[in-house]
Structure 1
Amino acid sequence: MSNHDDPDNDPWRGHNKSLPDLNDVFSDNFRRFKQILPGGSPSSFVILIIIILLAGVGWTALYTVPSDSVAVVQRFGQYIKNVPPGLHLKLPFGIDTAKIVPVKRQLKQEFGFATPGANDPYQSPKGQEGQRETQMVTGDLNAALVEWVVQYRISDPVKYLFEVREPSETLRYVSESVMREVVGDRTVDEVITIGRQEIESEALLKMQALSTKYVMGISIDQVQLKNINPPKPVQESFNEVNQAQQEKEKLINEARRDYNKVIPLALGEKDQRIREADGYRLKRINEAEGDTARFNALYAEYIKAPEVTKRRIYIETLQAVLPGIQSKIIIDESTNNVLPLLNLDAQQGAKP
């Protein structure tokens, strides 16, 4: 006997029984559901259905837009309008959808490192991607590990949502491409030391141009370089070279400081001595010219009256000499011996 002929295997327990009536099944379940309702009346069931519908409408129609964002409303997937911050209504049950876009918030993307607690999945690199995106080759065929940050805002939420697929991820690719291009045009010394500001400015301009070209709806505000290091195998040697260069610059600055301190002082002393010599020269020349003029004038008067001039010169000389002599002895021309007139003891005790 086959399994099909076995009445125990028949789900309807035999071929003689007919299939259950669907109306009877629905009526039986509806009767049981009414017994669950308070009062068990059909009106209570209608009220419960209305309450559920109203709750569904309120849950799916009300939404709140934060103060730093706008909502982009779509109806069956088609863009309708932008909604400002606040409490708003939309068509319920998925007819209208509202996507919140933070247009007033400054966002950032980090390359080579990650800030803990970031909510944006595209803010920080994933896994080994961070180590890969920092490895760059400079223009002089050296390697460098470059870390940087891009700060941006969403300027046009419609373009941000609908023009480019995954605009945040696209921005990461654009930023990495531009930074590799800018770093590849410079030497490793410029990248690590003196060329940081130029790299930031050039990268910012190129990123802004590409974001405008790709219609990403993003406004890039700043590109800031963080840590820039040589590869780890040569990092210690590079630090020693960098330290030696810094020591060299330090010694050069100290030498310039001493030069600026000593040389102006020496130049000032030189000018002072030259002016003193010029003054002394003019003084001696003027004195010599004055003496010459006085002698010539005296000689002219001497020629006119030799005896008178000679006597006047003699008297003027005595007037200049005699006040300096403390003791004076005046004798007659006929006196031959002056010893009786000299008091030698008094002369010896007198002060010079």
Structure 2
Amino acid sequence: MAWNQPGNNGQDRDPWGSSNNQGGNSGGNKGGRDKGPPDLDDIFRKLSNKLGGLGGGKKGGDGGNSNDQRRSGNTGRLVSIAAAAVVVIWAGSGFYTIKEAERGVVTRFGKFSHLVEPGLNWKPTFIDQVRAVNVEAVRELSASGTMLTSDENVVRVEMNVQYRVTNPERYLFSVTSADDSLRQATDSALRGVIGRSTMDRILTEGRTVVRSDTQRELEETIRPYDMGITLLDVNFQTARPPEEVKAAFDDAIAARENREQKVREAEAYANGEIPVARGKAQETLERARAYKARVTLEAQGEVDSFARILPEYKAAPQITRERLYIETMERVLGHTRKVLVNDKGNSLMVLPLDQLMRGQSGSAPASSGDSTNLMRLPPASSGSERASSSTSFSPDDIMDQRRVNSQRNDTQREGRE
């Protein structure tokens, strides 16, 4: 619909300032005035006609062109709406969110541009690309395989590596795939360490050494590549021989454990017995030293006693010999239970008092003439013989006798202890 201006003889005026004298447009104007509101469809149609008529002249007032112009206006309107919708969709598709534990790596036309922090962000679609990388999660990868040891044995080894991404840019662009590169480096480092170790060491006490050596070599291998990752831990999980020889290796390990157990038991027994033996040895040495000191002191005492007796013996030999004899017999017979009685005859009677004391209680003691309770000794020698026999004693004999008596006393004392 057109706007009708007064004083224009009923002709339609283009709202854009141009006149339109086509007969098809004036059919709806009656009385030279249209008081209705402007038609948006007509505005869009005329705008399309203006854009389409830039390359050609105006056409005559043909009634059939009105429908064509209306269809062209509808098409232009749809194109404009579609273009606006595309712009809105393109702008809305650029919004994205980065999580708290992630960092966004922005590439513009395939080249690294910058990093974005967690939160809501916007990017121009089809121009920038964003890849979110988790920088807080602990990642794991496993390495395993059948490897050859230094003593030419085959062992099956499994290892677990834990790491974290610390530089998202280097993690994505330093190598083609940081995870695959780390897996290959782990396998290489593990094979190198296993190749320098023996089978027994790997299966027994060398597990900690293998783990630390593998971690050190792995860090040295990936350092030149700067892949933006940091190793946290390397866990040596299992090491076992192949299944075909596993039974033999199990027997060997069991025998080794039994040997170590026996060695520990022997060490424990030695630790218990050696101090006891050392104590006994020390006790024996102390007793020997005490005995030595005692014998030495006794010998010195006997020497002193002999030195005191010697002047008396030189002064009165006969009297000294008799006195020594009597003292010796007193010490010897003082420890016996038998009593020697002189019956004023030529013989001595021995009274077995121990047998008499063990007799029946209340029985009368046996008479001195009873032969069952008395033992008669051979006749004593005459005075001349006793005198001659007395002269046969020497100081050396007396000292020997005293020494024998002392040793006998010591033996009896030790027996009582």
Q: TM-score under structure 2 normalisation?
A: 0.54
Larger Rg: 1 or 2? 2
Q: Pick the aligned partner of 2:106 from 58, 73, 96.
A: 73
2:252 match: 241
| Residues in 2 aligned to 1:274 and 1:94: alpha-carbon distance in whole angstroms | 101
Which residues of 2 match residues 336-347 of structure 1 at below 5 A? none
Q: Pick the aligned partner of 1:98 from 126, 130, 143.
A: 130
**Which SS does the other structure have where 1:223 is aligned?**
strand
Measured after TM superposition, the shift of residue 168 of structure 1 is 0.2
Q: Is the 8 A contact 2:98 2:132 kept in 1?
A: no
Measured after TM superposition, the shift of residue 303 of structure 1 is 7.7
CA pair 101-304 structure 1, distance change in 2 beyond 3 A: farther
Gaps of 5+ in 2: 1-67, 332-363, 366-417
Q: Is the 8 A contact 2:146 2:155 kept in 1?
A: yes
Q: Which has more helix, going by share of residues?
A: 1
Identity level (%): 28
2:38 match: none
CA pair 185-271 structure 1, distance change in 2 beyond 3 A: same
| Residues in 1 aligned to 2:282 and 2:73: alpha-carbon distance in whole angstroms | 120
CA pair 29-94 structure 1, distance change in 2 beyond 3 A: closer
Determine if the alignment matches structure 1 residue 274 to structure 2 residue 285: yes
| Residues in 1 aligned to 2:113 and 2:310: alpha-carbon distance in whole angstroms | 122
Measured after TM superposition, the shift of residue 145 of structure 1 is 0.8
| Residues in 2 aligned to 1:22 and 1:221: alpha-carbon distance in whole angstroms | 74
Q: Pick the aligned partner of 2:263 from 244, 252, 257.
A: 252
Q: Is the 8 A contact 1:229 1:235 kept in 2?
A: yes
Between 1 and 2, higher relative CO (CA 8 Å, sep ≥ 6) is seen in: 1
Measured after TM superposition, the shift of residue 104 of structure 1 is 2.9
Q: Is the 8 A contact 1:74 1:98 kept in 2?
A: yes
CA pair 210-304 structure 1, distance change in 2 beyond 3 A: same
Q: Is the 8 A contact 1:211 1:218 kept in 2?
A: no
Output the amino acid matched with 2:121: L
Q: Deviations over 1:159-183 (max 9, x none)?
A: 1111101110111111111211221
Q: Is the 8 A contact 1:109 1:150 kept in 2?
A: yes
Q: Is the 8 A contact 2:133 2:168 kept in 1?
A: yes
Q: Pick the aligned partner of 1:289 from 300, 309, 324.
A: 300
Q: Is the 8 A contact 2:143 2:186 kept in 1?
A: no
**Which SS does the other structure have where 1:194 is aligned?**
coil
CA pair 276-83 structure 1, distance change in 2 beyond 3 A: farther
Gaps of 5+ in 1: 1-20, 34-41, 113-133, 321-346
Q: Is the 8 A contact 2:147 2:194 kept in 1?
A: yes
Q: TM-score under structure 1 normalisation?
A: 0.63
1:333 match: none
CA pair 235-28 structure 1, distance change in 2 beyond 3 A: same
CA pair 49-298 structure 1, distance change in 2 beyond 3 A: same
Q: Deviations over 1:68-108 (max 9, x none)?
A: x3332333333233334x31423242544332222233221
CA pair 23-300 structure 1, distance change in 2 beyond 3 A: farther
1:108 match: 140
Which residues of 2 match residues 1-352 of structure 1 at below 5 A? 24=71, 27=74, 49=85, 53=88, 57=91, 60-67=94-101, 69-84=102-117, 86-112=118-144, 134-297=145-308
Measured after TM superposition, the shift of residue 299 of structure 1 is 5.3
